[in-house]
Structures are given as C-alpha cells and as structure tokens.
Structure 1
Amino acid sequence: MFQFLQNLQKREQLLVAIFIFLIITLVIPLKIIQPIIEKKESLNNRINHLEWSLTEIKHLKKINSSSNASEIEITASDSLVIIVDRMLRKYDILSSLQRSQPIENNEIRIDLTDVSFNKLILFLSELKSNFNLDVKSANFTDSQFNESGFVNASISLIY
C-alpha cells in the first residue's frame, strides 16, 4: 500500500492525503457524536415525560385528598339513587347532574353535563369497587363549552 502511494504523482498524493484527512475529521466524529446526540434527545424526552407524570400525580393527590376530606358514609343497603347522589357529592360533581332516573330496582340512568372526565372515571371506579355497580352503557360527548377534559355523559348503571 505504501509503495502504491509512492508511485502516485505529487498532486495525487495530495488528494489522497486530503481525502484521508476529511475521513478522519468528518466521518469518525459523526459516528461518535451521533449516538451521543440521540441519547441526549432520548433523555430529554424521558425527563419531559417524568415531569408530566409528577404534575399529574400532584393533581391526583390533590383530588384524592379533597375527596377524603369529605367522606360520606354510604352503606350497600341504600337505594341506587342515594348511593349515586352521595358519590356525586363526594367527587364534587353533583352540580353537573342533570337527571338521575331509576329504571328498575337494580338499574339507574344518570345524565351529567360539563363534568370532569377524570373525576367521572374515579366516580365510576369507586362505584364498581365499593358497590359492585357496573356500567351497562355510557355515551360521552364534548362539553358544550369545548373545555379540555370536560364531557357530557349519559350513563346507565346496573347492580
């Protein structure tokens, strides 16, 4: 190889030297720097996701602490209307209630307007876990004020 380079003319040797210099100064650093840049972007995305998660956790803790502060005693022997009413009060969404209509002994339909979707899901989850009330059907539409996180809901619960 060395003899091949010696056989080249001075101009050709200069071009080969420049080419080797460019490879060393451009290509090799790119192969080293590119993974570092990708790792940095990945870490930044992860940090943003963790910051968002912390914000959501604080928000949920605030909701949970405010709901625990206003504990309402409910027994499973209460009627569906009473259970739903007290749970709506507990989650501070009673003001969103438009209609609460018992359909049979073991079924009730509730219509809510401009209710926080997060609070509604917590409400339904607690009804399921504490009172074994299942969602028979649920219809959700956008809030009339187009607020993010708020919906109109029509839900049928069955015991």
Structure 2
Amino acid sequence: MAHDQQSPAPAGAPELAELRETASRIRVLTGQLARRLRAAGERTDLTLSQSAVLSRLDRRGPATTVELARAERVRPQSMGTTLAGLEEAGLIERSPHPSDRRRIVISLSPEGLRRLGEAREVREGWIARALEERFDERERAVVVEAIGLLERLTEDE
C-alpha cells in the first residue's frame, strides 16, 4: 500500500527550515569573515581575488586564464582583469603553453610568491590571534572540526 505522506524525519534530524536558517547564518558569517579579512589585509595591497589567484597558483601550479576562472568561479573576462593587475605588479609571469603555443600559462613570479607569503601572514595572523584571544581550548577544537565539515561545502559536486 502506497503512502501519500512522507515519513517523518528521524528524531534529532534538522528540519528543512532549520537547514535554511543554518544556510543563512553561514552566508552571513562568511561575508562578515571576508570583510574582516579584507580589513586585516589592508596592510597589503593585494585584494582577496588577487590573493586567491596567487594562492591557487602556489598550490596547484601554473594554469591558463580559463582554468583559473573556472576554478575561482568567475568569468574569464573578470579573471583577465585580476591577472592584468597581478602582471602589472610583477606578481605573475606569462609563458607559452608547453604543448599548445596558442595558449598562455600563468605562473607565480618570485615576487608574487614573496608577496603571497606576506598577505597570508597578515590575514592568518589576524585569525590566529582572534582564536587565541577569544576562544578556549575546547572551542578551538570545535572550530578545527567544523573547518573540515565546511570544506566539504566547497568541494566540486
């Protein structure tokens, strides 16, 4: 016999309304965190977008403009603007693709690697100080655990 009603959620399972509220809180908090990191990073002259590109090049190696745009989920034109600023500052280098001379590969310059390190130090330093000053040991452990869970939100589906 078919049931017209859905089975109730298991005891303790969050309801859809609670999940939507959680999603809203995550969205708001990530925006606030991005603004705080931007403010902390004002001591550097790299934008968050520029830092993200430099960081990706550092972690994943050289890439084309299209690959970077896809990875950062922006239009190639927007990525082109970001890359132009990085190139003007001497933070990236362009070279022909090893197997397809029509394509250009973007990589970090030595100066880009140095500046990326500085930007990371400033932003990560702010976070580390805030964790040390505002959270006890148990709370810091919860934050560490939550990071792993939140990272799964950004994994490609």
TM-score, scaled to structure 1:
0.29
Q: Comparing both structures, which one devotes a greater share of its residues to strand?
A: 1
Which structure has greater helix proportion? 2
